[in-house]
């Protein structure tokens, strides 16, 4: 009797473990379960606002001061809430480890300054977030780090640009703002340099770069991951070895995430799946509508069959993402582009993305204003370029708003 009871209990435990393992293969479930401590019964994330913690002993304080995994010494070194966010992101990205930063730019700065030194070489694509381009131009090159900018959409371009001094390959896919796609499998085959992918425009429910074999995945979690336009946060995910190495420069640069921002990131993760499902569906519908508008020169969205890398996008992404880019025909005629931004009523003019409101901006005048004319051309940006971040409004209302705005600029 006891033996049968034990076998039944063991069988139930095995069944439950199997069910749990199956459930955990779905990222939509991991969005809800990730980042929760084993002994934590609170359903919402727990915020530890502390900047300092009492040390158990001087010897222990000495050990903690050089431990990249320590969370209860001093907030610039680590914090329990920040650690929960990092563990959640590592689980979502399929990474050994993640490290959270004060912003996406903080992650970029720590990455480059932590891994590269004078005499090193970086290969970066021309189609990048302008803040990253500016950092590479203004900081990296001033420190004697050579940077080669190439067309990231051109097959074989990264391989050709790499030399024996290349320390880092920096990629953004989809690329901001024209949504070009880099072949991650081809990128991963390059031996030697560390390969980092900025996947801000495609959060983990849409794309997980590490599964293709690259070394690091980067996000401005300020955007879709936080999802409410109220968090300033960055995150890098990859091997424990690389992320532990980057702990020292992140501490020295003061670039580690604040507990309050990591808390917002954890809250944002819980709804990331349902938000992206709605936003991506809306983006596809709006993109198809824009294709048929006579005042629109071109529309770029990875899930449109007209996108030049449509098949590659299907291979790497579960959807096209929540961002669209389109170009207004003859933008100089009666300042059509400026009038469009003046005429939209429901969509908000703002230089961000991933939040609950639909946002529009003109990259040439805002997000990429620091680029030279040649750099803008290489990034596919003109005065008529419009970037749209789809929110959670009903898509038919957004289409009606765009229809009246475009009609007003004829």
pLDDT score of 55 more than 60: yes
SS3 of residue 259 by DSSP: helix
Give the pair of three-digit tokens for residue 396. 């038919």
Please give the residue range of the domain that contains residue 389.
272-407
**What does the DSSP assignment read for 158-214?**
HHHH--TTEEEEEEESSPTTT-----HHHHHT--SSEEEEE-TTS-TTT--GGGGT-
- Helix/strand/coil percentages in the chain, nearest 5: 40, 15, 45
Q: Please write the tens of the pLDDT for every residue from 266-277.
A: 999 999 999 999
Domain count of the fold of the chain: 2
Answer yes or no: do 264 and 277 share one domain. Answer: no
Q: Residues for the chain: how many in total? A: 410
In this predicted model, what pLDDT tens digit does every residue of 306-326 receive, in sequence order? 999 999 999 999 999 999 999
Last-in-domain residue among 251, 268, 285: 268
Q: Does 148 map to a domain?
A: yes
How confident is the model at residue 12, as a pLDDT?
44
- Check whether residue 157 and residue 51 sit in a common domain: yes
For residues 260 and 281, state if they share a domain: no
- 193 plus 238 within the same structural domain: yes
The pLDDT confidence band at residue 364, using thresholds 50, 70 and 90, is confident
Of 268, 300, 334, the residue at which a domain comes to its end is 268
pLDDT higher than 60, residue 212: yes
Claim to verify: residue 73 and residue 215 sit in the same structural domain: yes
109: domain CATH number is: 3.40.640.10
Q: Give the span between the Cα atoms of 181 and 204, in whole angstroms.
A: 16
Domain boundary (233, 248, 268) is at 268
Does pLDDT of 38 surpass 90?
no
Same domain, 207 and 299: no
The answer to whether position 296 is within a domain reads: yes
Dihedral sign, CA of 266, 267, 273, 276? negative
Q: Are residues 248 and 322 in the same domain?
A: no
pLDDT of amino acid 215: 98
Compute the mean pLDDT over every residue in the chain, rounded to the nearest whole number. 92
Residue 18 lies in a domain: no
Domain-embedded: residue 243: yes
16 confidence band (pLDDT: 50, 70, 90)? very low
Mean pLDDT on 130-154? 94
CATH code for the domain of 340: 3.90.1150.10
Beta strands 166-172 and 194-198 are parallel
In the numeric block, the tokens 């501490």 are attached to 251
């Amino acid at each position: 009797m006891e033996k049968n009871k034990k076998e039944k209990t063991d069988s139930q435990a095995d069944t439950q473990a199997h069910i749990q393992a199956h459930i955990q293969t779905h990222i939509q479930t991991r969005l809800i379960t990730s980042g929760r401590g084993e002994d934590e019964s609170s359903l919402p994330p727990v915020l530890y606002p502390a900047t300092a913690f009492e040390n158990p002993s001087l010897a222990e304080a000495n050990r903690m001061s050089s431990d990249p995994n320590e969370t209860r010494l001093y907030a610039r070194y680590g914090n329990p809430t920040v650690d929960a966010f990092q563990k959640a992101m590592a689980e979502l990205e399929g990474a050994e480890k993640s490290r959270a930063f004060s912003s996406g730019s903080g992650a970029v700065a720590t990455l480059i300054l932590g891994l590269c030194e004078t005499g090193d070489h970086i290969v970066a694509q021309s189609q990048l977030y302008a803040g990253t381009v500016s950092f590479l131009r203004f900081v990296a090159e001033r420190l004697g780090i050579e940077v080669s900018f190439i067309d990231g959409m051109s097959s074989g371009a990264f391989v050709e640009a790499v030399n024996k001094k290349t320390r880092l390959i920096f990629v953004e896919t989809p690329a901001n703002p024209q949504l070009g796609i880099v072949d991650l499998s081809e990128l991963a085959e390059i031996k030697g340099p560390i390969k980092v992918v900025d996947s801000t425009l495609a959060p983990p429910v849409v794309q997980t770069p590490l599964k293709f074999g690259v070394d690091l995945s980067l996000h401005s979690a300020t955007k879709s991951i936080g999802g409410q336009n109220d968090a300033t946060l960055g995150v890098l995910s990859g091997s424990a070895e690389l992320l532990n190495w980057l702990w020292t420069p992140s501490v020295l640069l003061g670039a580690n995430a604040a507990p309050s921002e990591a808390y917002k990131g954890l809250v944002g993760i819980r709804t990331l799946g349902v938000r992206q499902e709605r936003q991506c569906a809306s983006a596809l519908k709006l993109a198809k509508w824009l294709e048929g508008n006579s005042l629109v020169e071109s529309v770029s969205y990875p899930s449109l069959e007209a996108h030049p890398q449509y098949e590659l996008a299907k291979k790497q992404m579960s959807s096209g993402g929540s961002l669209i880019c389109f170009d207004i025909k003859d933008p100089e005629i009666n300042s059509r582009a400026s009038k469009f931004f003046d005429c939209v009523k429901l969509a908000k003019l703002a230089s961000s993305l991933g939040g609950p409101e639909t946002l529009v901006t003109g990259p040439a005048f805002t997000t990429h204003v620091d680029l030279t004319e040649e750099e803008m051309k290489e990034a596919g940006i003109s005065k008529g370029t419009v970037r749209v971040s789809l929110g959670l409004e009903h898509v038919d209302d957004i289409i009606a708003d765009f229809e009246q705005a475009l009609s007003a600029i004829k």
